[in-house]
Chain A
Amino acid sequence: MALTLNVNGTAHSVDVDPQTPLLWVVRDTLGLTGTKFSCGIAQCGACTLHVDGAPVRSCSFPVSLAVGKAVKTIEGVSTDGSHPIQRAWKELDAPQCGYCQSGMIMSALALLERNPNPSDADIDTAVTNACRCSSYHRVRKAIHLAADLMKERRA
């Protein structure tokens, strides 16, 4: 069944079972492999992307629910790493293995887009992605730095 998806500002027609999780459509049908699979049960957040600006765990989100909405993946943040959140991540050398980082960045970005100046407690509540290497210490600092860089960009 053909569905129309808007991903990173581009419309795609995809012929998939409407129950297919959005993750697999993004990764396998559209070839955007930056979004990762890890637990498959919406626990770890490696598959986090945005649907209409809200962070969604795409491994457990049927593609049919994304029809008519704007999907944004890590590839839609910027492909050259120039977005303030990516610059902050690089400045703090935040990732280790990096596998969870697409999801981590998408969760943090969703937070920053609705709360330009998050406290540590705000971060604790909003960024619930799992990282096995434990990049947490640098991710927290990077979120604060990204908040500053995003303010500069708006100014």
Chain B
Amino acid sequence: MKAPTPNRREVLAGAGAFVLGFWLPPRAAHAQTAAAHGAAWYSEPAVPEINAWIVVEPDDTVVIRIAQTELGQGVWTSNAMMVAEELQCDWSKVRPIYASANRDAREQAPAWTLQVPGNGATDPNGGGEPTFGNRARTGGFGIPDSLYRRMRTNAASSVKDGRYYLQLAGAEARERLMLAAANEWAVPVDELVAKDSVITHAKSRRTTTYGKVAARAARTPHPNPEAIALKPPEMWTLMGTEQKNLDIPMKVTGETKYAIDVRVPGMKWAAVKSCPVYGGDVKSFDFEAIRAKPGVRGVHQFPIPDPALTRGRVFSGGVAVIADSWYQAKTALDAMPVEWTVPPERAAFTTENMRAALKQALDEPGRVRVNQGDVDAAFANAKRVVEATYYTPYLPRARMEPGNATVLVTDDRVDIWIGDQSPQETRFSAAQITGIAEENVYLHLCHLGGGFGRNGNGPQAEQAIMIANANRGTPIHLLWTREEDFIGTTYRAMGMARLKAALDDDGWPLALEVRTSMQEDGFGPDASFDVTSRYYVPSYRFSNHTTKFHVPVGTRRGVGQAAHEFYRESFIDELAHAAGKDPYRYRRELIARTELPFKADMIKALDMAAEMAGWGTPLPRGKARAIALEERGVETGGSATISAMVHTVSVSRDGRVKLERVDVAHESGFGLVNPLSVKKQIEGQITWFYNDAMHQACNIENGAIAENNFNRFSLSRIDEDPLEINIEFFPTNHWLVGMGHDRGTSVQAAIADAIFQVTGKRFRELPLRQHDASWS
């Protein structure tokens, strides 16, 4: 029997047999969460908090609530370090837990947190103001004024956006703990010293601990928290030191609970198939064909998730089979006949016709973003013109943990167990789908098995909420297959760029024209080229040329900037070679000629990386070094992140490319909180962009993503990891934009240039493995 209409729904067999969804007071809800996770690590403390971020237990354990999601970037540790630096507690007794997104819906942020991190905040060293990369739930820029302020984990901004209010949270609690001790001893508070959770009154030779005065501190408000001064970097003792990540011990025993590991009593599993062509929907399915299969409990068709809940992106409609175990649900779903309704104009998309559209867009006028000097005149008079067109494909995040969420909806409450980079938005989605107020939505946050770009962009939560809302009273654990994860993710837009330069007799550029094309909703269309050229040129024009495609694009590690740095740095290499000049010195000179605010820092990065790598020393035939600059924000003079890397690459005669060694010069800005995490992230991003350069592409066939599992979509393994990575930091005095998503982009242009140096072949289309790099 075919399902006659959409919206057909099977009632769960046995639904309501176990009703867990009675309202629980917060304490009981936490106990339920702890039971579900089965790990003390996640349990809420039983004593009163000092403030919303900090609880000190009688044994001096300091519980620090983290409002960002740990996805491998080390935010549990770095956020805790910012709090603990000011709290002056014993770091060995710090225990992070997730902050409550439910409280965040119910409570406003303390007034003292609102004043400090605003745009008027400058650092005590005169390093300028941070520019906040955050957005409110409604899409406007800014940090929400709800309790935990920014709960998003995105844009490499956790340290920068949270720093002032997290430091202040630590300082406010420290002052209140000291005030409590002073009150107890009836001595002036300024005679006390606090260090490593011990408060000392030297005059009377008395000491106490945070744990002993915490209950009193919890009842002792601070008279003037706005006046508390924060420590500048030269006073830091914890921030700026290399600290191992606090959650690593649980990651080597298998004890860490990711969302996929959540088990709730009475839980059923949902396996999902959604239309592989975005914007498509279910035409029919035949549940009767599988109804009798083992464990099968029901079926639920869901529509295309409301684009208003997925930041305007149109995913697909689909169908879920619900069963006692996920394997049963998945095997039954595989056996269930499903037919799709696919909009023909969407099914007509292929990589080839999309590429042709992007190429055609490059020939059209486009939207001119920058126009300096007289580009047309310079080209009209030019004796020498260099032109190149580059291409980068669609790229997914492909995090290792497939999308999943567990949702329990009852008449007046929603519980969601999820690893989520944007819990405030998921809370909003839950309220919109169920009609239950955000104040009654409880998110139980879990570590994420990789993120790489705000996984809340995808509809995993929305699908799970829709399925659970149709099966109220039963917790539903939705888990995507890997293939489904490739449908539910958002992609970095495929793109093309045409760069054209007029050179003078000495090979220096007189004019540069940059045209970039990507679909109109692609992220970062202006990155790396906006406002002015990073490399000096008297006449400069930059234009965007957009198309309309159906693939949902979004924030993927590096966004458009990563592609743009491949275009820009590749082209500078091409110009240097055309000019017969050394690519390092060519870059250095062209930056020195600019008026860019951070040009000295960029030059420092290039010089340092070149020195570290032994730039210019001889290499055997088949090996080459290439250098490239990585920058974000140098055009504005506010926040920026600057690094340069030299990549040493070998190319065998039969064309095998090996990244041998990477030398990294990275600025430290206005303080790195945990340099160990920064190093790990740099190591990770080198491989991330190595994969973009060498291996990865998602092609479109008949409107659908073709490479949808790791047999067709390549991920490098340890054998391709460079044996030598050297990372050094150099001091600078401005806010970093963040360094979690656009470092290591240089590896793309560098490998392409190294191949050119060895083979004489210039490849301008990624991934490079499609090209023949053999030589003789």
Q: Please give the residue numbers on chain A whose beta carbons come within 8 Å of chain B beta carbons, in ascending order.
A: 17, 20-21, 24, 28, 31-41, 43-44, 46, 73-75, 77-81, 86, 89-90, 93-102, 105, 120, 123-125, 127-140
Known contacts A33-B254, A37-B260, A131-B400; decide if A136 and B452 are in contact (CB<8 Å). Answer: no
Q: Which of B71, B326, B399 contacts A24 (CB 8 A)?
A: B326
Contact with A along B442-459 (1 / 0, CB 8 A): 000001111110000000
Bound CA span A37–B400, Å: 8
Bound CA span A124–B261, Å: 30
Known contacts A90-B248, A130-B717; decide if A97 and B257 are in contact (CB<8 Å). Answer: no
Chain A CB within 8 A of B258 CB: yes
Q: Which of B256, B261, B327, B715 contacts A130 (CB 8 A)?
A: B715
Residue in chain A with minimal CB distance to B744: A134
Bound CA span A123–B721, Å: 11
Known contacts A43-B711, A95-B248; decide if A133 and B72 are in contact (CB<8 Å). Answer: yes
Contact with A along B650-682 (1 / 0, CB 8 A): 000000000000000000000000001000110
A-chain residues with CB within 8 Å of residue B191 when the two chains form the complex: none
Shortest Cβ-Cβ A-B pairs, 5 listed:
A34-B254, A99-B449, A97-B72, A96-B72, A98-B251
Q: Which of B70, B479, B680, B723 contacts A93 (CB 8 A)?
A: B680
Contact A99 B325 (CB under 8 A): no
A104 to B: closest C-beta gap in Å? 9
B-chain residues with CB within 8 Å of residue A74 when the two chains form the complex: 253-254
Q: Please give the residue numbers on chain B whose beta carbons come within 8 Å of chain A beta carbons, in ascending order.
A: 70-74, 244-245, 247-258, 260-261, 263, 294, 325-327, 398-402, 447-452, 479, 481-482, 676, 680-681, 683-688, 709-711, 715, 717-719, 721-723, 725
B-chain residues with CB within 8 Å of residue A120 when the two chains form the complex: 723
B379 to A: closest C-beta gap in Å? 42
Q: Which of B73, B261, B327, B710 contacts A96 (CB 8 A)?
A: B73
Contact B400 A75 (CB under 8 A): no
Contact B256 A98 (CB under 8 A): yes
Known contacts A132-B715, A137-B721; decide if A46 and B400 are in contact (CB<8 Å). Answer: yes
B245, B451, B717, B718 — most chain A CB neighbours (10 Å): B718
Bound CA span A134–B685, Å: 8
Name 22 A/B residue pairs within 8 A (Cβ), A-sorted. A28-B325, A36-B400, A81-B253, A90-B252, A94-B252, A96-B74, A97-B72, A97-B451, A98-B449, A99-B258, A99-B400, A99-B449, A124-B717, A130-B400, A130-B715, A132-B450, A134-B687, A134-B688, A137-B683, A137-B721, A137-B722, A138-B680
B448, B452, B683 — most chain A CB neighbours (10 Å): B683
Q: Which of B253, B684, B685 contacts A78 (CB 8 A)?
A: B253
Q: Which of A75, A89, A136, A140 contacts B248 (CB 8 A)?
A: A89
Contact A86 B717 (CB under 8 A): no
Contact A105 B711 (CB under 8 A): no
Residue in chain A with minimal CB distance to B269: A28
Contact B261 A138 (CB under 8 A): no
B-chain residues with CB within 8 Å of residue A43 when the two chains form the complex: 709-711
Contact A40 B400 (CB under 8 A): no
Bound CA span A137–B721, Å: 7
